[in-house]
Amino acid sequence: MPQDTTARTADVVVIGGGAIGLSVAWRAAQRGRAVLVIERGELGCGASHVAAGMLAPVTEADPGELALLQLGLRSARMWPAFAAELSQASGGMDVGLRCCGALVVARDGDEAAALDRELALRRELDLTVRRLLPSAARRLEPALAPTIRLALDVPGDHVANPRAMVNALAEASLRAGVVSSTGDAVERIECGGARIRGVRLAGGSFVAAEQVVVAAGAWSAQIPGLPESATFALRPVKGQIMRLRDPAGPGLLERIVRFEGGYLVPRGDGRYVLGATMEERGFDTNVTAGGLYELLRDAAELVPGVLELVVEETAAGVRPATPDNAPVLGASDDVQGLVWATGHHRNGILLAPATAEIVAAALDGEQAPAAFAARRFVREEAHA
Ligand code: GLY
């Protein structure tokens, strides 16, 4: 049942109550806006619920995605202050930020050669990465298999706990005056001419708002009501994960271990997230035997102790991916009052602080960086 059905006007409606939508809502409320978050499920029930929480711009860097890398580095720098402020604003809730670093590990000669290419690329970009022979890598992380061939030490990549983050954002937003309506689906965004009027909810009621932020993850480009010229291609990329617990307590791994096909993220309390598949299967979120098998097979080859861990949960979610893997942020050129905060693909938790800052500023009329504008995808024929 909806938690709140009383607010029927707002300055800003945010569609989507995940890590991105709540971060934006919190920042917009801090700027004096009356904000209503509309979430069709529970807060944080989408990709945020499945995300491991890697804050790993250097590990994830791709040579073809420099704007995304810069945004990721900027947001990573913001994370410690963001976490501290969020903790304070939520009355002391912890968001599980762990400045633990990451190791990228190769299991054979081919992967080691690929890792050396990754190292060269990162050095060209002036990123802090250290090449480690297997013995040195195993001194840092003794649980690594003796058979590993090479590792890269990425000391600046860290991790946060997305579920704890969502809980803290919900509380901080509430304290800042944000109204959250859960179990409430948006049926359509309503425009008058080329201007936002508000949103129509599935039950038929209307919420008037001059600005609507779309932060609905992989569903963001599917909400009816917008002209075709205002939208863009957004595809769901499925990720399956396992949540694991070491009955012996913490200590198996200190750092994130990244490998071809996945990663192991330590929470620091004996719990680990093993993720994640990358599958193009539409909006399917079934957990499959094959998906889990591949994750475990690859992880156990590098960290054999993973097979001793207790499986606490399996889950699957969908990442929102744009054609260039970078997010879509800021005001639409086509519809006045429409603001995008979506397309974060593998980096939603990392990019939340920078996204919130950019989008809250966009609500106040500032231009978001052109590299993240929706117009970069606009199809000529949509304008014809
Ligand atoms: N951030 C890693 C993933 O999307 O699987």
Is residue 71 assigned to a domain? Answer: no
CB 215 within 8 A of CB 354: no
315, 168: one domain: no
145, 181: one domain: no
Is residue 76 assigned to a domain? Answer: no
Ligand 1 center to residue 376 CA distance, Å?
24
Domain boundary pick from 306, 321, 336: 321
328, 316: one domain: no
263 beta partners: 258, 275
The radius of gyration of the chain's CA atoms, rounded to the nearest angstrom, is 21
Ligand 1 center to residue 193 CA distance, Å?
39
Domain boundary pick from 321, 337, 356: 321
Distance CA 97, CA 224 (A): 37
228, 341: one domain: yes
pLDDT of residue 159: 98
In which element (H, E) is residue 28 found?
helix 19-30
Query: Using alpha carbons only, what angle is made at residue 328 by residues 25 and 53, rounded to the nearest 5 degrees?
Result: 65
pLDDT of residue 63: 82
117, 138: one domain: yes
Distance CA 123, CA 135 (A): 22
pTM equals: 0.96
Choose among 368, 364, 349, 359: nearest CA to 78. 349
229, 329: one domain: yes
What region does 113 belong to: left with phi over 0, alpha with psi -120 to 50, or beta?
Answer: alpha
- Count how many domains the chain has: 2
227, 332: one domain: yes
User: What parts of the chain have a pLDDT lower than 50?
Assistant: 1-5, 7, 381, 384
Is residue 242 assigned to a domain? Answer: yes
pLDDT of residue 334: 94
Is residue 74 assigned to a domain? Answer: no
* DSSP structure class, residue 374: G
Choose among 248, 247, 251, 302: nearest CA to 274. 302
Choose among 260, 182, 240, 230: nearest CA to 328. 230
Is residue 64 assigned to a domain? Answer: no
Ligand 1 center to residue 50 CA distance, Å?
9
Distance CA 363, CA 24 (A): 10
Q: Annotate 117-140 with DSSP letters as a single string.
A: HHHHHHHHTT---EEE-HHHHHHH
257, 333: one domain: no
Across 40-139, where does the E strand assignment appear? Answer: 54-55, 102-106, 130-132
CATH number at residue 373: 3.50.50.60
Is residue 60 assigned to a domain? Answer: no
pLDDT of residue 166: 98
List, for residues 280-298, the tens digit of each pLDDT value: 999 999 999 999 999 999 9
268, 316: one domain: yes
* DSSP structure class, residue 304: G
- Ligand 1 atom closest to the Cα of residue 54 is 1
Show the domain range for 249: 98-156+235-321
Measured on CA atoms in the order 194, 200, 204, 207, is the torsion positive or negative? negative
377, 287: one domain: no
Residue nearest to atom 3 of ligand 1 (CA): 346
Q: For residue 205, how many other CB atoms are within 10 A of its CB?
A: 13
- Ligand 1 atom closest to the Cα of residue 239 is 5
Q: Annotate 163-228 with DSSP letters as a single string.
A: HHHHHHHHHHHHHTT-EEEES--EEEEEEETTEEEEEEETTS-EEEEEEEEE--GGGGGG-TTS-G
List, for residues 69-102, the tens digit of each pLDDT value: 999 999 999 999 999 999 999 999 999 999 999 9
Residue nearest to atom 1 of ligand 1 (CA): 346
CATH number at residue 113: 3.30.9.10
144, 254: one domain: yes
Ligand 1 mutation target, pool 263, 294, 351, most atoms within 8 A of CB: 263
Ligand 1 contact, 344 CB (< 6 A): no
pLDDT of residue 342: 98
pLDDT of residue 378: 73
